[in-house]
Amino acid sequence: MTDPAAVADVRSPLSDGEWHRLHPLTPVLRGGLFLVVVLGIVITNLRDRIIGWLFPAVADLERYEADPVDYVVSNNLILLALVAVLAVLLLLLGGFWLSWRFHTLRITGDDVEVRSGILFRTHRRAPLDRVQGVNLTRPMVARLLGAAKLEVVGAGLDSNVKLEYLSTTNAEALRADILRLASGRQLARASDAAGSVPRGRAAVATVSAALTGLIDGAEQPVAEPASVVHIPPGRLIGSRLLSGSTLWLLVVVAAIIVGSVVGTPWVLFTLVPAALGFAAYWFRTITRALRYSIAPTPSGVRITFGLFTTITETLPPGRVHAFEIRQPLLWRGCGWWSIRVNRLSGRSANDAQSQQFADVLPVGTRDDVERVLRLFLPGISAAQWQELVVHGLLGPHDESDPYVTTPRRAWWLRPLSWRRNGVLLTPDAILLRRGLIWRSLVILPLARLQSVALSQGPIGRSQKAATLTGHTVAGQVPGAVGALDRDAAVAVWQRAARAVIAAAASDRSHRWDAAPPASPAPIAIATTDQEEGRA
């Protein structure tokens, strides 16, 4: 696109409306796995031989079995074998290099576009005003080479635009540009075009910078906002050890010990794989959550986590559809809580990563919960927060409880939590309070709620009870609370249906930074873009 106005507005070298290639080391990073596989095959075949070279004494004790290397050596085919291995490597690298050549991206005033594929060309275009967030992932190896993956999160299933790989500086500039374009504000005038570095040199030059970055953390721009929550590593490890899976481990250990006492002692050996499995699980969850930070930026809340693979996601305002503040049983003594959210992550709900992206606060005290919630819902006043804590998190205490709860006649539907189980409609959100043992408070912002349902089965009808469900985008947070008094539930449902419409009509957060009257300029650009894209 050659619209001069848009070009002049753009700051970073990659988002100037022209087609660009990705980081030149992309073929190496993407082909790295295949290199490892080839190396692995070679090394396993040479293992005995290498041991023989290094420790001749050991080699004398055992005879080689017939392996391909013996065959190659005995038939004088060494040269041929080396050529074959080299050819395979070159073919693979050539393939990845070609796919890199054909993989181009373009940022225009309204879309992110990616073209890829050698034989089967794909052209993906994502409109910027539907961007749900931008994730910057820096895997260990890529970080050493100064590269990062950028993922533009769209609203549909499998609708993410992946930019693998970009140099770290480009990725950060691009992220800022995309978020700024998505915010509805026109890009700032070109201020520092000097920030561009020739990419061939950048690949080498950034290695040293990346090493410092490795130590400093994922982000090192000057205006990096400070995290509002600090999680001491001890608390993080403790919280992961006190998770529900630990209860299962205890149950399994007890069962194995009982089994070995009652039956055969051999059962004890099954402890080893169980322990290994749990150790791996803990290691994974802990390293993933380490180095957590959450901070407000002009273009949304920025969450960073991960020790080895560092992921930085930016959630623009108004992209979170549901919050759940939870307290597992074992955390109650420590006063810890966690927050998870429903958001459009562009992934299917059973994707392992979608759970990871759902946790916005892995563990924190009540103050941390307040700070994180205030980032996402800045409108909460101090009095409202007190009410939320007293009634929502810890409640109910006395008769002043504002929640609509399970009536006494239906207590057996929620035998433990019937006093707590309830719903409250506030001007901005529906609050669902559940669980006496596993405490949970769900906040459904009305401006994001898709629809509200009321349902009743035969058992509920016999107790004059009903279930209220708020429908949000798919995610980890459930939006239903059951066994409510029917009349109260109907009243809440009717008021909620009206409040959702009012909230949606007044909500402007999907173009959070736009001037109050929507400017017609972006729409004009959109039409020209689409015509060019089809040509």
| CA separation, residue 416 to residues 408, 439, 459 (Å) | 12, 12, 18
CB 293 within 8 A of CB 232: no
The CA-based angle 99-100-101, given to 5 degrees, is 90
Q: Which one of residues 5, 329, 504, 515 is an interface residue with other proteins (CB under 8 A)?
A: 504
Task: Give the whole-angstrom CA distance, residue 195 versus residue 340.
Answer: 37
- Site track 153-172 with other proteins (rule: CB under 8 A), x = hit: --x-----------------
Nearest residue (CB) to other proteins, 142 versus 181: 181
Residue 487 interacts with other proteins (CB under 8 A)?
Answer: yes
| CA separation, residue 506 to residues 322, 428, 499 (Å) | 19, 11, 11
Task: Give the whole-angstrom CA distance, residue 196 versus residue 177.
Answer: 14
Residue 453 interacts with other proteins (CB under 8 A)?
Answer: yes
DSSP-based three-state secondary structure for 152: strand
β-strands 111-116, 122-127: how paired? antiparallel
- Stretch in the footprint of other proteins (CB under 8 A) among 78-86, 219-227, 303-311, 479-487: 479-487
Residue 270 interacts with other proteins (CB under 8 A)?
Answer: no
Least distance (Å) between residue 415 CB and other proteins: 21
Nearest residue (CB) to other proteins, 305 versus 323: 323
Q: Which one of residues 469, 481, 492, 522 is an interface residue with other proteins (CB under 8 A)?
A: 469
What is the DSSP secondary structure assignment for residue 13, as one 8-state letter?
A: G
- Stretch in the footprint of other proteins (CB under 8 A) among 81-89, 102-110, 230-238, 484-492: 484-492
Nearest residue (CB) to other proteins, 257 versus 501: 501
Which residues, 123 to 152, sit near other proteins by CB under 8 A?
Answer: 130, 132
Residue 486 interacts with other proteins (CB under 8 A)?
Answer: yes
Task: Give the whole-angstrom CA distance, residue 238 versus residue 347.
Answer: 30
Residue 185 interacts with other proteins (CB under 8 A)?
Answer: no
Least distance (Å) between residue 511 CB and other proteins: 8
Q: Is 159 exposed, middle or buried (0-12, 13-18, 19+ CB in 10 A)?
A: middle
- Stretch in the footprint of other proteins (CB under 8 A) among 9-17, 52-60, 135-143, 497-505: 497-505
Task: Give the whole-angstrom CA distance, residue 125 versus residue 352.
Answer: 26
Q: Which one of residues 242, 423, 431, 466 is an interface residue with other proteins (CB under 8 A)?
A: 466
CB 345 within 8 A of CB 158: no
The site for other proteins (CB under 8 A) is made up of 130, 132, 155, 318, 344, 448, 450-458, 461-464, 466, 469, 471-474, 479, 486-487, 490-491, 493-494, 496-498, 500-501, 504-505, 507, 509-511
